Amino acid sequence: MEGQSHWHTPKPLYVSQRRLDKLALAAIALCISGFIAKAYAGENTFFDHKFSGVVDVRASYSDSIDSYAGAGLGKFRFDDGGQLSLAQLGLSHQMEWGDNWSSHIVANGYVDGVDNNLGLSEAYLSYKPLPWDNGLRFDARAGLMYPQISLENVATAWASPYSLSYSTMNAWLGEEVRHLGARFSLASLGKYRQSLHDVSLTAEFFGFNDTSGAMLAWHGWTLSSRQSLLQENLPISAIPAMEVGGMLAAQAKASDPFLELDSRIGVHLLGQWRWHGQGSVQAGYYDNHADTRVVKQGQYAWATRFSHLGAKWRLPLGIELITQAMAGDTLMMSPSGINVVDNHFHSGFVLLSKKINLHRLSLRFEDFSVTDKDLTPGDNNSEQGQALTVSYQYQLSRPWFVHFEYNRIDSERMARVYQGASLQFVEQQWQLASRYFF
């Protein structure tokens, strides 16, 4: 906000106890599976493991309002003013045995002055055998994982090599669209046909994300670099409909993003085409298949579904193009069958990135919206906006990068009026980071 300038004192690092049982069980199960597989395979079987990670120390200044991460309606992960933070401490452990099996555990930690925490973000088991003689290759994985969507977050611990803040689309995936499930893929490899083209089909079956859509409704799209951790609950910004007597009075004050309420299986289907040396195109459909009649302890099941398209392409002059878009809807009902929250949403971005020796410059343009289609008083979720990101990266050494970034969001959100803020608001952010990958 204009006239305010301050540096936040980081809060103590806090690890919630709510679901440490899930965190521990997921990690233990993966470790045990690895050692069992090793013992079963015998002494002659290849067995190896490795650690990798990222340390992201960041100074930032935001001209905004209180962050969505602390129950505000600001679209950045940091509050208004200056901030020195440990923006990401990511650690990944990969264990391999034989030619086909591996396990992956990823933990992330944050000391950002808004929501300091440490916990598990991914944990899965993979099976990837050699291709068959006809060029077909099958692979599978199971556990806590992201749906196979993002073309932007491809670095260690789901970081982005292009920018410090993820696009609005991928920031939402990082916040509440992970799941526990299984993925099965079948690819046809072109080199077995003397072709530069690969095609693949993927099916994912999942649960434990029945509340997906709640945060998109109640704080809207964000430009963030924070991934929700397994044990976390996500605070909800205050709105009139959640006050005593409102239609949302029974809603819990925080949303649990990794919750199974209805014992129904969601589905994500994906098709991909890859042209070696040129780029790739993908299209998919996601449906968590939630039963909106279910509510437990203030947590409602949200029926969330969307289609998405994406492409990564090499343009002339060595410019890399990444573009993705999604459009869908999310519905939350009362136990009596009344549509309480009924939203249509879309988000899309175009990212251009050019690497010259030790320098990389990236530009990203975004458009996003939420359209509120219900009649619930005191809960208008409508918003529309555009975002611009300019990101410059310099490589000091092979694993060490200095990164400067400017973000601008111009958005119109009705819910800000409930808190005495402007309907139309421009938020800006400047970030300087030292990122070390190992």
Mean pLDDT of the chain: 91
Could you give the maximum distance between any two Cα atoms of the chain, in Å? 68
3-state secondary structure labels for all residues of 25-60: HHHHHHHHHHHHHHHHHCCCCCEEEEEEEEEEEEEE
Render pLDDT for 380-393 as a digit per residue (tens, 0 to 9). 999 999 999 999 99
Cα–Cα distance, 355 to 9 (Å, whole number): 36
Q: If pLDDT is split at 50, 70 and 90, which confidence band does 241 have?
A: very high
Using 50, 70 and 90 to split pLDDT, how confident is the model at 336?
A: confident
**CATH top-level class for 48-84+126-437?**
mainly beta
Closest by alpha carbon to 332, among 372, 283, 275? Answer: 372
Q: Per-residue pLDDT tens for 87-139?
A: 999 999 999 988 899 999 999 999 998 889 999 999 999 999 999 999 999 99
pTM: 0.91
C-alpha closest to that of 411 among 104, 15, 135, 68: 68
Pick the closest to residue 37 from 94, 104, 100, 92 (CA basis).
Answer: 100
Separation between Cα atoms, residue 179 and residue 145, nearest integer Å: 6
3-state secondary structure of 187: strand
What residue ranges do the domains of the chain occupy?
Answer: 48-84+126-437
CA separation for the pair 173, 145 (Å, rounded): 11
Mean pLDDT over 199-205 rounds to 98
3-state secondary structure 118-185: EEEEEEEEEECCCCCCCCEEEEEEEEEECCCCCCCCCCHHHCCCCCCCCCHHHHHHHHHCCEEEEEEE
Between residues 31 and 430, the one the model is more confident about = 430
Res 39: pLDDT: 53
**Distance of alpha carbon 198 from its chain centroid, rounded?**
26
Q: If you search the block for the tokens 């993927």, which residue do you land on?
A: 202
The answer to whether 85 and 113 have CB atoms below 8 angstroms apart is yes
Task: List, for residues 295-319, the tens digit of each pLDDT value.
Answer: 999 999 999 999 999 999 999 999 9
DSSP per-residue string spanning 243-272: STTSTTTTS-SEE-SS---S---EEEEEEE
Q: How many helices (H) and strands (E) does the chain have?
A: 4, 20
Q: What is the pLDDT of residue 8?
A: 41
- What's the pLDDT score for residue 110? 97
